[in-house]
Amino acid sequence: MSVLDKRALTGSTLVVLAVLFVALVMLSNVLLRGARLDLTQDRLYTLSDGTRSVIRTIEEPVSLQFYFSDSAAANYPTLRTYARRVRELLEELVAVAPGKLRLEVIDPQPFSEDEDRAVAHGLQSVPIGGGGESLFFGLAGTNAVDGQMAIPFFQPDKETFLEYDIAKLISGLSGPAKPVMGLLSGLSMTPGFDPTVGRMNPGWVIHGELAALFEVRRLENSISRVPEDIELLMLVHPKDLPAEALYAIDQFVMRGGRLLAFVDPHAEAELAGDVTDPMANMMAEKSSDLAALFGPWGIRFDPDRVVLDAENALQLQTRPDQPPQRHLAVLGVTRQHLNQADVISAQLDVVNFSSAGHLDLSVDSTLSLEPLVQSSLASTTVAAERIRFLPEPRDLFNDFEPSNRAYVLAGRFSGPLKSAFADRSGADHRAEIADAQVIVFADTDLLTDRLWVQVQQFFGQRVVNAFAKNGDLVVNAVDNMIGSSDLIKVRARSTSARPFTRVEALKRAADDRFRLKEQELQAELAETERQLTELQSQRGAGEGALLLSPEQQTAIQRFQDEKLRIRRELRQVRRELDQDIQRLGAQLKVINIAGVPVLLTAVAVGFVFARARRRREEGK
């Protein structure tokens, strides 16, 4: 065979291989459509079991319209990356539920029908740039009965709850229009006549917030059974409940109902005794407990102890003639003490409590406890009587010794549970449940307006301004518990962002060095000013008092020289930081650009040598 024939054969072989490769890729796209392999560290693209269960319960098809202004976001790579993450998650949901979920991706152009539909669905447009352009980035969902829900805008900082938010939307479209919750309260939360002021009371703001989102049905203490259509029972300051009411609550939980309870060692909002006698009201005992249920269930709550927290204590002005002072029993719990892994308490900044108790599990409890809100380690507990008869908040600092323990102020209890009424029986009696869902707050005052919201009248309208996240916390708890049991199990996920941890470590190290130098400069500045003051004080008044002495001039010159030296060192620290980062970047470039080709070349050369060696061995 001639050289030309060999070249022609080689060229034909390459063409055939190229055609086969293209055909194989096209065939794999058809045969392997929907096949996915999640190799991410935190399984970002693998749906949780709770989300899969939510999808399985869909009876009628749900249509999802994902609105993203792709062209408007051309100059925002971070937003485009997150939009791709959202779209991939939606496509994964559709792939898992073929026929039940339908996805439509829409790029709404300005002044188009798509833009009008996005606004009609309740999506929010965010203005970007200076040309009046706006960007849509949200999700609208509809079901077969014209029900609709929407996520107005996907915020990148809430990526950890992306799957939960979408699963919640799908669950809401496949369930009833407005869930029903029962409210049994020992406090005057609802609108009605207020005898203390002699006029109608509009009710607490939190009650209005819940009524706007759910059907709130008021229950009386004399209930013998919780109605079947109630999905969540909210107990607020349950005090002196009769045995039949306690049994009704127990059986509600045993039937799979969700319980949200607010108990308190000292409910400041309770009006006890004669409402016209302030002294009688102050002397009255204002604790509440569910000992008849909590004890057998394995939930520990002491109605006689109040948590004091030095780190989270709020500044209060108890008297107009005195400055504000810290109150160890009135707490502003910040983000670091709120569970960021639970959808109820995550993303909240501050939640205020007052004279709160604490929760725990008994030794033989079958439940598990997930704290939602905790105190800091600079906490301890005192008798509730000390709060009731407290003359001045500063007195709480007397003998205050932190126990170096974080107390649970609110927690989620879940797991297998047996009825607290083991002696009861009958056809309708439920003795146990495999997975109970109970959330308990050891405070009722957090529901009151004074701890989280300011209410004003503006031209006859009630204007509400929240200064804490108490309302969000309670609404989140109701919203989460009133959903399906599968939705409750959907937890926060990791983010898709992967920061350059090595670069961040270099920056932190350089910042530490920079901060030390800065502190050194400030210390020398203070010392120089002190020396100048001493020199000035040694001089007497006279004609030359405004002139600098030689000692002062020398001190100033010495400080200026030292200041220039430290600034040079600060610049050197920054240069070293840049050099370290550039060196690391260069190493990564070498690995990415040259390393992979060198590795492939080495593999190819090894393959050629191995093949040649095999041929030599076969020719022998």
Q: Identify the residue with better confidence: 375 or 122.
A: 375
- E runs forming strands in 108-230: 125-128, 133-142, 148-151, 180-185, 192-194, 199-201, 215-218
Say how far apart CA 36 and CA 95 lie, in whole Å.
10
Instruction: Look at 215-224, 254-263, 571-580, 598-607 and tell me which has the smallest mean pLDDT.
Output: 571-580
* CATH number, domain 49-173, options 3.60.130.10, 2.40.50.100, 3.40.50.1100, 3.40.30.10: 3.40.30.10
Mean predicted confidence (pLDDT) in 542-566: 65
Q: Report which of residues 620 and 224 the model is more confident about.
A: 224
Of the candidates 534, 575, 566, the residue with the CA atom closest to the CA atom of residue 552: 534
> Strand 148-151 and strand 133-142: pairing?
antiparallel
- Checking if the pLDDT of 503 tops 90, the result is no
Pair 357, 307: CB distance under 8 Å? yes
pLDDT at 598 > cutoff 70: yes
User: Is there a contact between 63 and 141 (Cβ–Cβ < 8 Å)?
Assistant: yes
State the Cα–Cα distance between residues 121 and 136, nearest whole angstrom: 12
Residue 224, judged by CB atoms within 10 A of its CB (0-12, 13-18, 19+), counts as exposed
pLDDT over 90 (residue 47): no
Eight-state DSSP code of residue 34? T
Nearest of 33, 123, 28, 31 to residue 69 by alpha carbon: 123
pLDDT digits (tens, 9 = 90+) for 454-494: 877 654 556 678 889 999 899 889 988 886 555 555 654 54
**Residue 430 pLDDT:** 94
Burial grade of 230 (CB within 10 A; 0-12, 13-18, 19 or more) = buried
Burial of 612 (0-12, 13-18, 19+ CB in 10 A): exposed
Give residue-wise pLDDT tens across range 413-453. 999 999 999 999 888 999 999 999 999 999 999 999 999 98
Contact criterion met (CB below 8 Å) for 278 and 294:
no
pLDDT digits (tens, 9 = 90+) for 52-85: 877 787 777 889 999 999 888 888 888 888 899 8
Q: Give the separation between CA 541 and CA 383, rounded to whole angstroms.
A: 64
Examine the pLDDT at 256 and tell me if it is beyond 90.
Answer: yes
> How is residue 148 written in tokens?
């609709």
CA-CA distance, 151 to 123, in Å (whole number)? 7
pLDDT band at 607 (very low <50, low <70, confident <90, very high): confident
Report the percentage of the chain scoring pLDDT > 70: 71
Collect all residues with Cβ–Cβ distance below 8 Å to 506 and sequence separation of at least 6.
577, 580, 581, 584
Tokens 């790029």 sit on residue? 107
Distance CA 250, CA 233 (A): 11
In sequence order, what are the beta bridge partners of 259?
A: 233, 438
Cβ atoms of 260 and 436 within 8 Å: the answer is no
Q: Are strands 299-301 and 359-361 parallel, antiparallel or unpaired?
A: antiparallel
3-state secondary structure of 342: coil
Is residue 441 a contact partner of residue 410, using CB atoms and an 8 Å limit? yes
If one compares 329 and 5, the residue with the highest pLDDT of the two is 329
Percent of the chain whose pLDDT exceeds 90: 34
DSSP state for residue 288 in the 8-state scheme:
B
Q: Compute the average pLDDT of residues 20-46.
A: 61
Q: Which residues pair with 380 in a beta bridge?
A: 308
The amino acid that residue 576 corresponds to is E
pLDDT score for 494:
47
Give the pLDDT confidence score for residue 612 in this predicted structure: 75
The CB density around residue 214, as the number of other CB atoms within 10 Å, is 20
Cross-strand partners of 309: 379
How much is the pLDDT for 274? 57
Q: Which of 68-77, 160-169, 358-367, 568-577 has the lowest mean pLDDT?
A: 568-577
Quick one: pLDDT at residue 512? 58
> Where does the pLDDT of residue 543 fall: very low under 50, low under 70, confident under 90, or very high at 90 and above?
very low
Instruction: For residue 341, give every residue at least 6 positions away whose Cβ sits within 8 Å of its Cβ, in sequence order, or none.
Output: 491, 492
What would the pLDDT profile of 90-147 be if each residue is shown by its tens digit?
A: 888 888 888 888 899 999 888 889 888 988 888 888 887 666 678 899 999 988 777 7
In terms of residues, how long is the chain?
Answer: 620
In whole numbers, what is the pLDDT of the chain averaged over residues? Answer: 80
3-state DSSP helix/strand/coil % of the chain, to nearest 5: 40, 20, 35
Q: Output 512 or 472, whichever has higher pLDDT.
A: 472
Helix ranges restricted to H, 391-431: none
**Domain layout of the chain by residue ranges:** 1-33, 49-173, 180-303+357-376+407-488, 501-536+549-619
Mean pLDDT over residues 184-193, rounded?
A: 85
Distance CA 54, CA 141 (A): 15
Angstrom distances, CA of residue 610 to CA of 599, 602, 618: 16, 12, 12
Question: Is the model's pLDDT at 566 over the cut of 70?
Answer: no
**pLDDT for the residue 359:** 97
